[in-house]
Structure 1
């Protein structure tokens, strides 16, 4: 039940933030500006750490721990590797914006080891539905505990190693 309310609250914040309902209190405060991400090296099997999404998902989800970073803009960036039940592997370089409950796909990985920039790279709300449940899990359980981004990549790697961030109940 606690997890339900946490996910519900995250979704509420994300939907209202994207709708512009939470305007900056101070009009003179600096506006958030996204850093230009640098694409990481292609993931190596030895750097992949599996994480739990749900008991009902047929896929296996991994983070390339070597790609994990936290920008000065507060965005947690990582390479996601998904092995589907059908034997397909999907690789994406993504970001989580914890403050607004959003995610963004920057690039997709191809089997020949190269990155291709995403055609539509926009911030989208994190939704706890079957298609994007992994973003909700990454945000809530690993990289955005209590709605705040992890401070360092090491903190994120430790959360993955433990199976959840220590501050998540």
Structure 2
């Protein structure tokens, strides 16, 4: 019986050792994978739009009292990326009626924007020097801040529902964050 007991004790030692190894492999400190560590941003592939902005789906939105430009977003161009980037076409109109269209992206988690390209002579031209930049909240032409704070972001989280975004952009929409034409939009704290 003693050899049988030795085998049982050896088996128990092996099971304990294997359990210890498995426990260490799952330990975030031992494995180097910390589930609470911040995630590293990895941007997905961005393709330039196939068409210019659609005049019938351009929706004007409020930016600031100081700007002399008018701004509109092509609601058909808005895409909510799995990478956390909301991409869209914005059309800016200067006081003399000249327009410029840009394809851009906004990250809510870092409050940044990126210019992917511009519309030139009816076709999209990619911006080779494109990089993520902080969204300016205190300049007259702060349209990225208006889009982020008024429609694309829910504080620092990307809004995942396109219908909610379009309703927030619509001057006839609902809720405290909606754009209302010439009236300043506010967040829940009453701040522009």
Q: Secondary structure at the match of 2:143?
A: helix
Tell me if structure 2 keeps the 8 A contact 1:93–1:106: yes
1:31 aligns with 2:37: no
CA-based RMSD: 2.4
Tell me if structure 1 keeps the 8 A contact 2:64–2:140: no
1:106 aligns with 2:141: no
Q: Secondary structure at the match of 2:113?
A: strand
CA distance in 2, matches of 1:165, 1:105: 29
Partner of 2:21: none
1:125 aligns with 2:162: no
CA distance in 2, matches of 1:138, 1:106: 17
Q: Secondary structure at the match of 2:75?
A: strand
1:160 aligns with 2:169: yes
> 1:140, CA displacement in angstroms?
0.8
1:90 aligns with 2:97: no
Partner of 1:4: none
> 1:79, CA displacement in angstroms?
0.2
Partner of 1:7: none
Q: Secondary structure at the match of 1:136?
A: helix
1:71 aligns with 2:81: yes
1:145 aligns with 2:151: no
TM-score by length of 1: 0.76
1:81 aligns with 2:91: yes
Tell me if structure 2 keeps the 8 A contact 1:95–1:103: yes
Q: 1:165 to 1:69 in 2, by over 3 A?
A: farther
Q: Which runs of 5+ in 2 are unaligned?
A: 1-33, 178-187
* Structure whose CA Rg is larger: 2
> 1:103, CA displacement in angstroms?
0.1
Q: 1:31 to 1:147 in 2, by over 3 A?
A: closer
> 1:57, CA displacement in angstroms?
1.1
TM-score by length of 2: 0.68
Q: 1:131 to 1:54 in 2, by over 3 A?
A: closer
Q: Which runs of 5+ in 1 are unaligned?
A: 1-24
Runs of 4+ in 1 over 6 A off after TM superposition: none
Q: Which has the higher contact order (CA 8 A, sep 6+)?
A: 1
